């Protein structure tokens, strides 16, 4: 691979990129193990695709915010390094596909020229922090949560507490009690509140998560003062890092820590960690997200609307008045979240004289434009219509959310992208009036892992497979009744029935027909579902699950012509567990170097946490020599005491537990950092000496 050249002004990012290039060289040379390298690249937003030899790169956009210039930069990068397409995700990121691994350092450097990062977009890290796209312009918001989401992003980026957690950790900020960011579906969800004294704070939900087993978060704080937001987040992550499962990936999310210990104990452990936090109070700078540049007011020539009926529908479903009087937000419905780069450039050229210089990616894979004057509507509509981007019915039944499924994802079981397009066409042709229905949402995932958020929808589908004799056919699991209740409360959809994938269109017809025929006036879909009950829908859809009536078509997945073959690769969305002794000791040297760098910079808390990880990795390395594979950090501590210290095989002046857990019993001062780092370095030398003795015996 060729060495890349950079002219970046940020030395921290430049060092990151140079390090990535070095690691790629070591991987190509065979001097760094594949599993270690996989973990490293995932934490840099580089994800192996279903197609061998190419990567998906996830671009991290905090709370979905992107300027015109940044979007053009991302389009340029996709043209140069990827497939000339931008894919919007349900976590408000942008993904590009078919990237060569060797070119990722230069790709990152090019993105960074406009302050766009891929750092910690994948892997066992805090993922992109999401927020309601309307934050800042929402008439119902107590205050704008955008600066708070930005502060959390900045505080956690490169923070040692979240570089190698048991699995991913997700944070979401809703703009109001309507909870459009799904606070209850996050490890940590936040809803803005103002108390009786006029002070800002947040309602907090904890322990939520989607995946194969969706668990709804619990409201644990009715009012967390704004200056306690960052300390609270850090304490939560510290507990997850120490107590989270690291062997069984299916049980490695924070929700299972809550399930194992109980919420009361988890909250107690979080309070214990507060002593070691980098900060005890954190003042949020609410001016970090200023209002975007707004075009000057101008006169518009009278123009003829290209599609008068479409224009009226668009106004009714895609446009709303902001809290800033005289300005409007406009949603763009983006089918399957895909925007070709050529179209993205034309869109920006259209928007520059008409809208504020800030776009938000939405959780249903669309876009939100801001600060548009009413006089600009006809020009904007005609321009969007020419680009095929003026479809009405944003966030309605006709706006289907989907993950990439088997198009590019290793974990995909059945196709979701083509299926989503088919459903949107079905609704447009057979249920056109439902573009006004924003109660019913349809969400699809290509597997059970819920990247398409299927369990949070009134009507959800996830990819699966069925066996019919000796043959396997693609299928869809139908889930009903999920969605938002409000103010931190949500619903997880129930699994109703599994049917062949090609029959899923009839599933939707049957459900919508029955709802239109049998719901009472103004009855919301989930109320109708509750009234009828799960078995009602099971019996309704049961004939479609009959495998004795299969045709050849049922063995062909959506978007394919060949017969279905179930093929699932190794999932990378949550990283991997690394157990190699040599790799662990290599990491210890690296983390000790990071500790020294943090100490030299005067960041005592980071130096201490890097040192803590030296203790953990070194102890784990020796335990592996005895065939002991503890699944949590706290388990490693206990096992090392039992296997080595108590057994007299490793000399310490105290128990290992007492030595290492000083981290949450001391303030992160320079004095304690000095002592703790020295202890970690001594411990690592002792482990290396013990390891050498074992190898020579």
Residue 569 clears pLDDT 80, i.e. is over it:
no
Residues in the chain: 697
Secondary-structure percent of the chain, ordered helix, strand, coil, rounded to 5: 45, 15, 40
Range of lowest pLDDT (124-138, 237-251, 579-593): 579-593
Across the beta sheet with 85-88, what order do the strands follow?
46-48, 55-59, 94-99, 85-88, 338-340
DSSP 201-221: EEEEEES-B-TTS-B--EEEE
CATH class of 581-696: mainly alpha
Sign of CA dihedral 453, 455, 461, 467: positive
What is the pLDDT, as a whole number, of residue 243? 97
Place of tokens 């766009």: 116
* 193 φψ region: left (φ > 0), alpha (ψ -120 to 50), beta (else): beta
Mean pLDDT of 249-263: 95
596 three-class SS: helix
The more confidently predicted of residues 583 and 139 is: 139
Alpha-carbon distances of 553 from 474, 500, 512, 562, rounded to whole Å = 11, 10, 24, 10
Q: What pLDDT digit, counting tens, does each position of 492-522 carry?
A: 999 999 999 999 999 999 999 999 999 999 9
Mean pLDDT of 92-107: 97
Percent of the chain beyond pLDDT 90? Answer: 85
What is the pLDDT, as a whole number, of residue 580? 65
Beta-bridge mates of residue 443:
401, 460
Report strand pairing: 130-131 vs 171-173: parallel
Residue 573 clears pLDDT 60, i.e. is over it:
no
* 336 φψ region: left (φ > 0), alpha (ψ -120 to 50), beta (else): left
SS (H, E, C) 105-123: HHHHHHHHCCCCECCCCCC
What is the pLDDT, as a whole number, of residue 674? 98
What is the pLDDT, as a whole number, of residue 675? 98
| CB contact set of 310 (below 8 Å; sequence gap of 6+) | 385, 390, 392
CATH class of 11-112: alpha beta
What is the pLDDT, as a whole number, of residue 411? 82
Q: How far apart are CA 595 and CA 591, in angstroms?
A: 6
Q: So where are the chain's domains? A: 11-112, 130-276, 308-386, 403-555, 581-696
Judge if 130-276 and 403-555 fold alike in CATH terms. Answer: yes
pLDDT band at 7 (very low <50, low <70, confident <90, very high): low
Mean pLDDT of 165-170: 96
Q: How far apart are CA 459 and CA 449, in angstroms?
A: 16
What is the pLDDT, as a whole number, of residue 563? 80
CATH number of 403-555: 3.30.413.10
Averaged pLDDT of the chain: 94
The domain over range 130-276 is classified in CATH as 3.30.413.10:
yes
Range of lowest pLDDT (39-48, 317-326, 518-527): 39-48
What is the pLDDT, as a whole number, of residue 567? 60
Q: Radius of gyration of the chain from Cα atoms?
A: 26
Mean pLDDT of 671-678: 98
Q: How far apart are CA 413 and CA 421, in angstroms?
A: 18
Residue 98 clears pLDDT 90, i.e. is over it:
yes
Q: How would you class 134 by CB atoms within 10 Å of its CB: exposed for 0-12, middle for 13-18, buried for 19 or more?
A: buried
pLDDT band at 133 (very low <50, low <70, confident <90, very high): very high
Nearest Cα to 167, choosing from 230, 112, 120, 124? 124
| CB contact set of 403 (below 8 Å; sequence gap of 6+) | 90, 409, 412, 416, 444, 445, 446, 451, 452
pLDDT band at 571 (very low <50, low <70, confident <90, very high): low
Range of lowest pLDDT (135-139, 238-242, 254-258, 413-417): 413-417
What is the pLDDT, as a whole number, of residue 50? 87
Residue 195 clears pLDDT 90, i.e. is over it:
yes
Q: How far apart are CA 79 and CA 89, in angstroms?
A: 19
pLDDT band at 577 (very low <50, low <70, confident <90, very high): very low
Residue 190 clears pLDDT 90, i.e. is over it:
yes
Mean pLDDT of 300-317: 96
Range of lowest pLDDT (113-122, 141-150, 181-190, 688-697): 688-697
Mean pLDDT of 619-644: 94
Residue 618 clears pLDDT 70, i.e. is over it:
yes
273 three-class SS: helix
671 three-class SS: helix
pLDDT band at 414 (very low <50, low <70, confident <90, very high): confident
Place of tokens 């600009």: 376
Range of lowest pLDDT (89-103, 163-177, 426-440, 564-578): 564-578
Nearest Cα to 421, choosing from 437, 404, 438, 436? 404
Nearest Cα to 151, choosing from 62, 223, 271? 62
What is the pLDDT, as a whole number, of residue 643? 96
Beta-bridge mates of residue 467:
472
Q: Which CATH superfamily is domain 308-386 in?
A: ACT domain (3.30.70.260)
Q: What pLDDT digit, counting tens, does each position of 353-373 carry?
A: 999 999 999 999 999 999 999
Place of tokens 């070119």: 103
DSSP letter at 103?
G
DSSP 629-667: --SSHHHHHHHHIIIIITTTSS--SS-HHHHHGGGGTS-
Residue 383 clears pLDDT 90, i.e. is over it:
yes
Mean pLDDT of 578-593: 80
pLDDT band at 405 (very low <50, low <70, confident <90, very high): confident
Mean pLDDT of 64-86: 98
Which helix (DSSP H) or strand (DSSP E) does residue 588 occupy?
helix 581-600
- Let me know: does 554 contact 561? Beta carbons within 8 Å: no
What is the pLDDT, as a whole number, of residue 576? 39
What is the pLDDT, as a whole number, of residue 4? 52
Q: How far apart are CA 629 and CA 676, in angstroms?
A: 25
What is the pLDDT, as a whole number, of residue 574? 45
The more confidently predicted of residues 199 and 39 is: 199
Mean pLDDT of 64-84: 98
């Amino acid at each position: 691979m060729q060495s890349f050249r950079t002219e970046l002004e940020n030395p921290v990012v430049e060092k990151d990129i140079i390090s990535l290039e070095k690691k790629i060289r070591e991987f190509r040379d065979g001097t760094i193990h594949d599993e270690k390298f996989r973990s490293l690249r995932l934490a840099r937003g580089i994800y192996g695709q279903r197609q061998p030899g190419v990567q998906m790169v996830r671009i991290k956009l905090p709370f979905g915010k992107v300027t015109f210039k940044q979007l053009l930069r991302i389009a340029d990068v996709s043209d140069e390094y990827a497939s000339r397409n931008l894919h919007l995700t349900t976590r408000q990121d942008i993904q590009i596909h078919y990237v060569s691994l060797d070119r990722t350092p230069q790709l990152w450097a090019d993105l960074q020229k406009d302050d766009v990062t891929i750092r910690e977009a994948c892997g066992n890290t805090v993922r992109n922090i999401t927020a309601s796209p309307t934050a800042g312009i929402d008439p119902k918001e107590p205050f704008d949560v955008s600066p708070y989401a930005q502060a959390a992003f900045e505080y956690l980026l490169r923070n040692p507490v979240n570089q190698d957690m048991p699995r991913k950790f997700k944070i979401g900020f809703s703009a109001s009690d309507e909870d459009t960011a799904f606070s209850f579906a996050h490890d940590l969800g936040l809803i803005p509140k103002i108390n009786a004294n006029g002070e800002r704070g947040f309602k907090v939900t904890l322990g939520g998560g989607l995946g194969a087993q969706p668990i709804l978060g619990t409201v644990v704080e009715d009012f967390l003062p704004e200056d306690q937001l960052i300390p609270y987040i850090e304490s939560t992550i510290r507990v997850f890092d120490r107590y989270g499962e690291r062997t069984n990936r299916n049980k490695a999310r924070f929700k299972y820590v809550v399930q194992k210990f109980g919420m009361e104990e988890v909250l107690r452990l979080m309070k214990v960690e507060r002593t070691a936090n980098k900060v005890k109070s954190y003042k949020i700078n609410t001016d970090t997200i200023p209002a975007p540049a707004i075009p000057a007011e101008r006169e518009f020539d009278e123009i003829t609307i290209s599609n008068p009926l479409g224009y009226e529908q668009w106004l009714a479903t895609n446009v709303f008045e902001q809290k800033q009087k005289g300005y409007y937000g406009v949603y763009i419905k983006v089918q399957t979240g895909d925007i070709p780069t050529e179209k993205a450039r034309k869109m920006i050229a259209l928007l520059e004289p008409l809208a504020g210089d800030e776009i938000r990616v939405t959780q249903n894979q669309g876009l939100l434009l801001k600060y548009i004057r009413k006089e600009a509507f006809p020009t904007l509509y005609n321009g969007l219509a020419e680009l095929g981007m003026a479809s009405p019915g944003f966030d309605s039944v006709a706006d289907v959310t989907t993950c990439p499924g088997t198009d590019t994802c290793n974990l995909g079981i059945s196709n979701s992208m083509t299926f989503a397009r088919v459903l949107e066409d079905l609704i447009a042709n057979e249920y056109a009036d439902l573009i006004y229905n924003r109660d019913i949402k349809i969400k699809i995932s290509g597997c059970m892992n819920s990247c398409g958020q299927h369990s949070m929808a009134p009507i959800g589908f996830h990819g699966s497979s069925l066996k019919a004799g000796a043959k396997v056919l693609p299928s869809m699991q139908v889930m009903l009744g999920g969605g938002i209740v409000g103010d931190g409360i949500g619903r997880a959809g129930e699994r109703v029935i599994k049917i062949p994938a090609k029959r899923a269109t009839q599933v939707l017809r049957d459900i919508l027909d029955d709802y239109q025929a049998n719901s009472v006036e103004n009855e919301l879909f989930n109320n109708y579902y509750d009234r009828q009950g799960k078995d009602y829908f099971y019996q309704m859809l049961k004939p479609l699950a009959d495998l004795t009536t299969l045709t050849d078509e049922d063995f062909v997945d959506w978007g394919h012509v060949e017969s279905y073959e179930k093929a699932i690769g190794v999932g990378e969305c949550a990283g991997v567990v690394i157990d190699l002794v040599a790799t662990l000791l290599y990491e210890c040297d690296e983390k000790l170097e990071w500790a020294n760098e943090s100490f030299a910079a005067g960041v005592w808390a980071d130096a201490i946490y890097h040192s803590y990880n030296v203790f953990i990795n070194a102890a784990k390395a020796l335990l592996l020599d005895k065939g002991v594979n503890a699944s949590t950090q706290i388990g490693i501590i206990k096992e090392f005491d039992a296997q080595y210290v108590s057994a007299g095989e490793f000399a310490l002046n105290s128990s290992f537990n007492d030595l290492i857990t000083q981290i949450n019993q001391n303030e992160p001062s320079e004095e304690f950092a000095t002592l703790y780092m020295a202890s970690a370095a001594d411990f690592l030398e002792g482990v290396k000496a013990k390891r050498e003795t074992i190898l020579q015996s």
